[in-house]
Structure 1
Amino acid sequence: MKLSSRILTSLVLLLTLVSCGEDINPNYQEEVAEPEFYHRSVKQLTDVIVHDIFSPPVASRIYSYSSIAGYEALAAGDPGLESLAGQVPHLAPAPAPPAGTEIAYPVAAVVAQLRVGKSLIFSEPKMDEFRDGLYEEIRRIGVPEEVFQASVAYGEQVADHIIDWYGGDMYKQTRTFPKYSITDDETKWQPTPPDYMDGIEPSWERIRPFTLDSASQFRPLPPTDYSLEPDSRWMQEVNEVYTVFTGVDEQESAERQAIAQFWDCNPYVSHTVGHLMFATKKITPGGHWVNIAAIAAKQADADFARTVETYALVSMAMYDAFISCWEEKYRSKLVRPETFINRHIDQEWRPLLQTPPFPEHTSGHSVVSRACAVVLTDLYGDNFAFADDSEEEYDLPTREYPSFLAASDEAALSRLYGGIHYRPAIEYGVTQGEAVGQHLLERISTRAQITEARSQ
């Protein structure tokens, strides 16, 4: 009787596997831990962010919460990773995985990342189509169906936990806050051509940060005093922007233009040709650094855990950097070079790049790029040379850098070449981003052994 029961059980299992068209792969746990699955999931989210035209601060929110979800799902099953719960003061521990159930934690991480990403964008069908195709690929590896379903269920549990958490970050409330108020004060920011858009996210300093004590914790030095005196420091800084392509040879001029265009990262650029108006879409500054994170992880042959860790830390750094930067932008509310130069120097002048719709000081590129570069340097080293092909799909050639910090320096300077920032916003922004990035590294430990050592 016992033998018959065993035979019957075996036959049922065999019929189940055959009916599913499934051959169990004894190495499935190793094969589902291929980092390319996660890289592709993040890239899909980037493509949807570009399609849906999210502003840079909002894009940073999408990247960070989805990446944290993937990280927390993986950390639940990886003793080498430390949960972010408690380290981020307002993040509670994720649900514990069910006892006695086998889970492929890399699958759960992909599920959590995709589900949270989907919850934060508009084009949900694009995420669904990608998800379904990726799930089929994972199934074809030979993951037992019960393990696959348990992994999906746990990933969704973690995603629900993160979705509930981000609901308290003040984002919904800021959707109802007043718009930026334009005044007659000519020292203050005014909407710029060609679209004269309202100031983007004037209340972003109210968004809850991850590690900052407050949005103003690393408030930068103030901008130079406004002045119409010809010999004033202010006018010198204005003239540097106005004459940035004057007095340089053709080769240097071309290089400055190439740098500005490579780091433009404007999610929505308007074009007017005769009576025709159209727009081009591109990645945000944060999206560019997420792609650099992918380049670094692949070049270093990072395993699944290091890959997920990289995305989480970089996206958290950019998120806090945007909060820090936007607090200063809407505190100082400084006028953009385009507006000042058109009023007082040359009414026909236009910057090389389209001026973004928010105040000038400090430079978002400078703050965010430096914060991300600091984190990547901590992960992959100070002299990590890499080729950045992030803009190739936008018809811009690859650029090479000897380090992440060198890339962030160029990203910052690109805003001067683009005609959209004065030098103090760039230099003070780099200092601000450095402080944000270092602060995050001091507060967050993703490796369990590091956290244990610090507590001793």
Structure 2
Amino acid sequence: MKKLFLFVLLATAIFSCKKSNENWQQAASNPEFLRRTQSQLTESIIHDIFAPPVSSRIYMYSALAAYEALAAGNSNYQSMVGQLKGFKKVAKPEAGKEYCYPVAAVHAYLTIGKSLTFAQEVYVDFEKKLEQDYKATGIPSDVYERSIAFGDSIAASIMNYSKGDNYKQTRGFRYTVTQKKGTWVPTPPAYIDAAEPYWSKIRPTTLDTSSQFMPPKPYEYDMAKGSKYYDMVMDVYNTINNLTEEQRNIANFWDCNPFKMNITGHAMFATKKVSPGGHWMAIVTQTSRQLKADIYQTSEAYLLTSMAVFDGFISCWDEKYRSVKVRPETVINEVVDKNWQPVLQTPPFPEYPSGHSVISGAASVALSSVLGDNIAFADSSEMQYGLPVRNFKSYKDAAEEASISRLYGGIHFRPALDLGLEQGRKVGNWVITKVKTRKK
């Protein structure tokens, strides 16, 4: 009888330990850890006021680091080594050792994000809380420390990869404004220099060249009544003059201007908001949560979306600084109505094509490939700026609204939207064709 009691006691203890082990593994693999970290990175990017293309670079390398850490521990996913341009090697875990790969992934994401942003103080409290929450899962201390070290190794590999993308070499160069009619000039109210004029020189993740998906040549400047260019200008002018409340709401919702300059009398101050890429990363966060995606699928969605946005900006900026087209505000003020103003503040770079249209088209395709087509969702990412939730039938639906919002904002001509959206979809389809995340 005594032996039977000891046997039952031992069996219960073993079962309890096994159950406890399963509990911490499940708790530490909660995708909310990754989603929280992504949101924190966005707050840091907003704080530091990075230009939209630069923000896309930060998101992409961070997402790549998280994905690589997770792929190392899941046989269903494969590394991006050999699939991305110039990506030749990544750190590997030590054989025979126990890791919590989700912990490594979140740490790698955060480490890259910190390395590529400036204000380190914004991470202090977040990191403390993150560590507390991980340890509260019951993860063994040796597994936790080993996983953090592996995350550091992955981050070091990704930072080494990033050094070859020509980013450092393109810093400090400025665009020289020409006096040719119809070409871009700085716009009110701050007349800021052209942003990232050499972004097309940045190494893409998948594109053969930055001009691979070059859009059709834009209309030549011609303000003669009845010309296609004139009709295009008047389309913007009349749209803004007859804007509905719903159209204004759409424009403001998709504004995504990281640095809006406000001028009141002699005082000037900036309003900081999420970038276009940051808005789409927030959509990944919201819809992966809605669909109850696990940390692997969530990371996959962050990766492919950020890659599509990153390559989309390179493709878009290639044409922007080739055609160097003037903004609606400049033409309308010079020729049509000197007192006319757009609804949104005009961003500091050439008009054609629309960056938001390109990256939204690219992101919607990439995201659909992971989480599915026709996913209806409520987008609350702009609530922090006092804007209401907007509902969409699909990622494609959201991308189309993001694109037309630039017409309602008065900052783009319609061809830049329609052709930009088409260009972005080509980029997105290229990305999901060129790289394979799943082994089966």
TM-score range, shorter chain: over 0.9
| Corresponding residue for residue 142 of structure 2 | 146
Distance 1:257 1:263 in 2: 10
Report the Cα distance in structure 2 between the residues aligned to 1:92 and 1:129, rounded to whole angstroms: 35
* Mapped partners of 1:39, 1:119: distance in 2: 19
Q: Which secondary structure state, in structure 1, belongs to the residue aligned with residue 111 of structure 2?
A: helix
| SS of aligned partner of 1:27 | helix
The letter of the residue matching 2:61 is Y
The reply to whether residue 58 of structure 1 matches residue 54 of structure 2 is yes
Give 1:68's aligned residue.
64
Q: Equivalent residues in 2 for 1:1-400 (5 A)?
A: 25-176=21-172, 178-247=173-242, 253-400=244-391
CA contact (8 A) 2:300 2:370 kept: no
**Kept in 2: contact 1:25–1:141 (CA 8 A):** no
Kept after mapping to 2: 8 A contact 1:83/1:93: no
Q: Distance in 2 between matches of 1:268 and 1:212?
A: 29
**CA positional deviation for 1:183:** 1.1
Match of 1:8 in 2: none
In structure 1, stretches of 5+ residues that fail to align are 1-23, 450-456
SS at match of 2:122: helix
Q: CA deviation at 1:417?
A: 0.6
Deviations 1:55-94 (A, max 9, x none): 1000000000000000001100111111111111311231
Deviation of the 1:100 alpha carbon? 1.7
Alpha-carbon distance between aligned partners in 2 of 1:376 and 1:405, rounded to the nearest angstrom? 10
1: CA distance, partners of 2:158 / 2:372: 31
Report the CA distance between 1:269 and its aligned residue. 0.7
Amino acid at match of 1:90: G
Q: Partners of 2:40 and 2:223 in 1: how far apart?
A: 49
Residue identity (%): 48
2:396 to 399, 405, 411: 405
Structure 1 residue 26 displacement after superposition: 4.9
Name the Cα RMSD after superposition: 1.1
Partner Cα distance (1:89, 1:121) in 2: 23
SS in 2 for 1:96: coil
Matched position secondary structure for 1:54: coil
Contact 1:321–1:367 (8 Å) recurs in 2: yes
Q: Greater shift after overlay, 407-416 or 225-234?
A: 225-234
* Residue 130 of structure 1, CA deviation: 1.4
Listed one character per residue, the Cα deviations across residues 4-35 of structure 1 (whole Å, up to 9, x for unaligned) are xxxxxxxxxxxxxxxxxxxx755211110000
Q: For 2:82 and 2:356, how far apart are their aligned partners in 1?
A: 30
Distance, in Å, in 2 between the alignment partners of 1:229 and 1:363 is 24
* Contact persistence 2:77–2:437 (CA under 8 A): yes
Q: Which amino acid aligns with 1:82?
A: Q
What corresponds to 2:3 in structure 1?
Answer: none
Equivalent-residue separation in structure 1 for 2:348 and 2:58 (angstroms): 20
* Inter-partner Cα distance in structure 2 for 1:101 and 1:257: 56
d(CA) in 2 for partners of 1:49 and 1:123?
9
**Counterpart-to-counterpart distance in 2, 1:123 and 1:26:** 37
> Counterpart in 1 of 2:409?
418
| Unpaired runs of at least 5, structure 2 | 1-19
Which ranges of 4 or more aligned residues in structure 1 deviate by more than 6 Å?
none
Residue 270 of structure 2: SS of its match in structure 1? strand
**Worse-superposed segment, 267-276 or 278-287:** 267-276
2:86 and 2:341 mapped to 1: Cα distance?
45
**TM-score normalized by the length of structure 1:** 0.91
